[in-house]
């Protein structure tokens, strides 16, 4: 009965972990959608106003922002600060639409909520697997694997080259008297046309 009370929170914690993973996936997909939609609506018109160089810089900015969103996960909350700064910089520089920028900032605020949930999960027993079977395996085998049988007669030197003389040591005596057929020689043909 004691064991059941220790693992009764596992299903809830597993569901929270799955939800956090789904949220991260949704945030990334949303950020990709918004940033790519921003290209024709905000970045391409920069060419007519400021020239090609500004547009190239804005495209590089978009790639950097997208990369920061890939790493802006609850496990790395500091990356969210970088993403926030990039979004604010994009809004100020007119490389990012105000509507898209606010939407991206809201997505980053969602990371903070998931970070709090993840922090709580890390304090629970059974983290990160929340699996009764995994707990049993860890109790049975422990963290460090200890082999049941020691390897004996294993030389510490490098492997030897097998010559004809030493081959007899490794081949069973019943197989030593078998004659091997000759291997036919093949010539290298480069002309395949007749």
Q: How far apart are CA 77 and CA 69, in angstroms?
A: 11
In whole angstroms, give the CA distance from residue 126 to residue 4: 13
54: Cβ contacts below 8 Å, ≥ 6 apart = 46, 47
Q: Are 110 and 19 in contact (CB under 8 A)?
A: no
Q: Is 126 exposed, middle or buried (0-12, 13-18, 19+ CB in 10 A)?
A: middle
pLDDT by residue for the chain (194 residues), tens only, comes to: 435 556 677 788 888 889 999 999 999 999 999 999 999 999 988 888 888 888 899 999 999 999 999 999 998 888 999 999 999 999 998 899 999 999 999 999 999 999 999 898 888 877 777 766 665 666 666 655 555 666 666 555 565 665 655 656 666 666 666 676 777 776 665 555 55
Nearest to 66 by CA among 92, 47, 87, 44: 87
């Amino acid at each position: 009965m004691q064991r059941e009370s220790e693992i009764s929170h596992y299903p809830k914690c597993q569901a929270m972990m799955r939800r956090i993973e789904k949220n991260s996936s949704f945030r990334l997909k949303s950020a990709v959608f918004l940033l790519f939609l921003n290209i024709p609506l905000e970045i391409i018109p920069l060419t007519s106003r400021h020239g090609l160089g500004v547009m190239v810089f804005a495209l590089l900015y978009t790639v950097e922002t997208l990369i920061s969103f890939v790493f802006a996960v609850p496990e790395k909350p500091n990356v969210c600060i970088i993403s926030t700064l990039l979004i604010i910089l994009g809004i100020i520089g007119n490389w990012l639409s105000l509507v898209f920028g606010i939407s991206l900032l809201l997505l980053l605020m969602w990371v903070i909520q998931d970070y709090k949930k993840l922090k709580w999960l890390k304090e629970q027993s059974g983290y990160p697997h929340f699996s009764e079977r995994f707990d049993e395996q860890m109790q049975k085998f422990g963290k460090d694997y200890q082999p049941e049988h020691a390897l004996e007669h294993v030389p510490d030197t490098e492997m030897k080259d097998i010559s004809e003389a030493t081959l007899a040591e490794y081949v069973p005596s019943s197989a030593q008297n078998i004659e091997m057929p000759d291997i036919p020689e093949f010539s290298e043909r480069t002309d395949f046309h007749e």
